[in-house]
DNA sequence: GTACATATTGCAAAGGTTTTCAATTTGTGC
DNA sequence: GCACAAATTGAAAACCTTTGCAATATGTAC
């Protein structure tokens, strides 16, 4: 390994010039004669020489690396964000590093130190911890971190922290979903997966409740802190066994599509016909959401667009010290068969 | 940004010692008096000083960073591998960087140069390109890369390249699936998604064909180069419209669970009852595979175990120059309702 | 050929750490 | 208090590049 790593000095020596000249040739500096340039290039090509980017980084005080912090890359939402952000970074010559921070973990001083030690050029925060409703201490850690590198998030602004926020307004999204169900004639609608634990989920719950009350309806809540398919099954079981079928809701709004997977499955297992006996809507428009049975009505929350946009802004903030700002967008309603309406098969493509 | 980044020199000055001593305190070197150590520690704590890991890397000739190369982090298989590998790396104080290389892209000299320039401590190759059946030039590029850093793959060995390979024997897996279907009474079985493009997919096809012939059956092939849900729908349409229902296969083996998603959906759309009218099996045991309707019989291919194991071996190879080796494991058959057998709800958990 | 402007090149410092080796301090036994 | 060993500390080199500045070479106008 690392057999014969040439340095710029070796190249310079062999080409009969100074290391400074080699450096200039390599970086395309204008003030270098064609003859010298050619001479140097020959040697560079001969050894396929590539300058040590660590040494360069030390001098130029950058690492050309960005950190992305998220709770779970296996979750399709985060995978989408990460994928788009990586691609955007790559196009600008940067590399991304994944830092995992569990859903329920707080961002600590030690955690921030890792990023500082590595001299990252910026960091992108994506949900989980950062979304925690108990934000005690968080702004302090992040304010310190921000003295070393720019921060962007794809979540609502964190009180006490001024950084770039680009996110989808999920409360607005849930209002859309409720109105859609209402227009289809539903009056008893339950929300599955309510939780106060993270703000992103809290927003969904808030939007649901607001719109229900606004429509003069009574919001039925089935809270659940973990939003997996398996928990979706359990939630349905709990909700429906708590009341006789005559009093069941006619529609279920599930906190996200992942959990909806289990909801659908449990409803099938109970022998209900979908969407006739029960309408279901989800949130996030995952790649699988068009392929459930029935296909799921859901919200497009712009995971890829926002991942790319946030990364773009991060890169720009890093170069120009641009001012912090917040940008929101209302999710798009994606109507499919799961609540008994016309077809919409648009879907994000997992193999683009 | 980067307001007042202290250096080890600043700390040394303020503590009234030499930078060497500070360095020793920071790295827990034994030969330093308790008194001095305390004095230094006070100043370090005061500024929350963290040594610049880039400078350290320059001197120690490592970056404490590993590269992971994969075609698509949005694909749940790759997300699992990446997640497990990242966690393993983190536990050893390393950071992972994602490098994307499209399914159909070749690993070029330029691509390898990126990794070399960044002085990665190792690289993990995960399918796609690397799997291409047309391997022309690949061993040369990788052999060169290997002179700079250790390589592990989670694919079958690449002819002409000696590195660590840890992977699931998918041919064996598909033989298991075929035998399972055979035992359930199926005789006309089709393979959906056959392709010669990547070895991993080619292996599945090979295993299928081999076992069919071994059982004296005629393999029915429905080739498809792209293995998305949408293509799954199309493949079913093509396959079934090519013959009268009486001659249809009674079971479909789909190249992976993702594509099976579309297969199931299309079969539903055509009004078939599953599994009575048509059995379906997939491959990969994704998080959603237990929640399709009906739940999918599939193969566990150890994405997380192998991601973690490969990373572990990479780290070890990097430190000890361990000898290359190859390790295979037969996938585990996960039986669910999609081919009409007893229940098995084990599933990888997307929110662990 | 001279004087000047311009294009090219090299020297040396800087970036922040770790580590070897030598120097210094401290401790021990008498 | 002395001689010596052991523990602690510091000076300086090394890692590899980029870049400001000075020096040299080249070109131009007379």
B336 vs A: CB within 8 A? no
User: What's the pLDDT at A195?
Assistant: 80
Q: Which residues of B85-111 are buried (b: 16+ CB within 10 A; e: fewer)?
A: bbbbbbeeebbbbbbbbebeebbeeeb
What number is the average pLDDT over the span A18-42? 89
pTM, entire model: 0.93
A46 vs B: CB within 8 A? no
Compute chain A's Rg from CA coordinates: 26
User: What's the pLDDT at B298?
Assistant: 98
Write the pLDDT tens digit of every residue in B110-125: 899 999 999 999 999 9
- Say whether B87 sits in a helix, a strand or coil: helix
Helix, strand and coil content of chain A, in percent to the nearest 5, comes to 45, 15, 40
- Weakest mean pLDDT among A98-102, A126-130, A347-351: A347-351
User: What's the pLDDT at B341?
Assistant: 58
In chain B, which among 91-120 make CB contacts under 8 A with chain A? Answer: 95-100, 103, 109, 113, 116-119
- What percent of chain A lies above the pLDDT cut of 90? 76
B75 vs A: CB within 8 A? yes
Q: Tell me the chain A residues in contact with residue B352 when contact means C-beta distances shorter than 8 Å.
A: 72, 74
Confidence of residue A24 (pLDDT cuts 50, 70, 90): very high
Place of tokens 């669970």: B257
The distance from CA A19 to its chain's CA centroid, rounded to whole angstroms, is 43
What number is the average pLDDT over the span A256-260? 97
CB of B79 within 8 A of CB of B73?
yes
Query: Looking at chain A, how many residues does it have?
Result: 352
In chain A, which among 227-286 make CB contacts under 8 A with chain B? Answer: 227-230, 258, 261-262, 264-265, 268
Residues B243/B249/B255/B258 CA torsion (nearest 10 deg): 80
A195 vs B: CB within 8 A? no
Those residues whose C-beta lies under 8 Å from the C-beta of residue A72, and which sit 6 or more positions away, are: A78, A100, A103, A128, B83, B350, B351, B352
CB of A307 within 8 A of CB of A83?
yes
What number is the average pLDDT over the span A194-219? 90
Whether residues A5 and B148 touch (CB distance < 8 A) is answered with yes
Helix, strand and coil content of chain B, in percent to the nearest 5, comes to 45, 15, 40
Write the pLDDT tens digit of every residue in A290-324: 999 899 999 999 999 999 999 999 999 998 888 99
Residue B78 confidence (pLDDT) above 50 = yes
- Weakest mean pLDDT among A152-156, A234-238, A346-350, B151-155: A346-350
* Distance between the alpha carbon (CA) of B18 and the C1' atom of D9, Å: 8
Residue A138 confidence (pLDDT) above 90 = no
B349 vs A: CB within 8 A? yes
User: What's the pLDDT at A201?
Assistant: 82
What mean pLDDT value characterizes chain B? 91
**Cα–Cα distance for residue pair A55/A253, rounded to 1 Å:** 54
Domains with residue ranges and CATH for chain A: 8-51 (1.10.260.40), 62-167+303-329 (3.40.50.2300), 170-301+333-339 (3.40.50.2300)
Residue B351 confidence (pLDDT) above 50 = no
Residue A224 confidence (pLDDT) above 70 = yes
Region of residue A284 (phi > 0: left; psi between -120 and 50: alpha; otherwise: beta): left
What number is the average pLDDT over the span B299-308? 98
Q: Shortest CB distance from A148 goes to which of B2, B116, B226?
A: B2
Write the pLDDT tens digit of every residue in B118-175: 999 999 999 876 556 566 777 889 999 999 999 999 999 988 899 999 999 999 999 9
**Cα–Cα distance for residue pair B252/B254, rounded to 1 Å:** 6
* Site from B291, B311, B346, B349 to mutate, A interface, most A CB atoms within 10 angstroms: B291
- Weakest mean pLDDT among A86-90, A193-197, A301-305, B157-161: A193-197
Return the biggest CA–CA distance within chain A: 90
Confidence of residue A4 (pLDDT cuts 50, 70, 90): low
């Amino acid at each position: 390994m690392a057999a014969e790593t040439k340095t710029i000095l070796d190249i310079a020596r062999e080409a009969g010039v100074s290391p400074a000249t080699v450096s200039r040739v390599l970086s395309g500096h204008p003030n270098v004669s064609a003859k010298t340039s050619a001479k140097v290039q020959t040697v560079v090509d001969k050894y396929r020489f590539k300058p040590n980017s660590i040494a360069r980084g030390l001098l130029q005080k950058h690492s050309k690396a960005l950190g992305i912090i998220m709770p779970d890359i296996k979750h399709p939402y985060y995978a989408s964000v990460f994928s788009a952000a990586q691609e955007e970074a790559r196009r600008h010559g940067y590399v991304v590093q994944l830092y995992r921070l569990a859903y329920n973990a707080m961002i600590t001083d030690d955690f921030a130190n890792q990023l500082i030690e590595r001299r990252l050029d910026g960091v992108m925060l994506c949900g989980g911890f950062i979304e925690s409703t108990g934000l005690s201490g968080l702004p302090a850690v992040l304010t310190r971190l921000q003295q070393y590198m720019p921060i962007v998030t794809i979540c609502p602004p964190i009180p006490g922290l001024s950084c770039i926020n680009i996110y989808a307004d999920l409360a607005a999204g849930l209002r859309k979903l409720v109105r859609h169900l209402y227009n289809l004639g539903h009056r008893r609608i339950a929300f599955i997966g309510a939780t106060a634990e993270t703000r992103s989920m809290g927003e969904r719950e808030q939007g649901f409740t607001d719109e229900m009350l606004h429509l003069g309806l009574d919001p039925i809540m089935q809270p659940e802190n973990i939003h997996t398919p398996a928990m979706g099954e359990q939630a349905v079981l709990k909700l429906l066994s708590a009341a006789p079928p005559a009093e069941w809701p006619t529609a279920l709004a599930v906190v996200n599509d992942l959990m909806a997977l289990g909801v659908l499955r449990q409803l099938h297992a109970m022998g209900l016909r979908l969407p006739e006996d029960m309408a279901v809507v989800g949130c996030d428009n995952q790649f699988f959401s068009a392929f459930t049975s029935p296909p799921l009505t859901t919200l497009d929350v712009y995971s890829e667009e926002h991942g790319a946009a946030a990364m773009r802004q991060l890169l720009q903030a890093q170069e120009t010290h641009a001012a912090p700002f917040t940008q929101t967008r209302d999710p798009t309603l994606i109507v499919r068969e799961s609540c008994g309406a016309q077809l919409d098969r648009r879907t994000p493509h997992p193999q683009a």
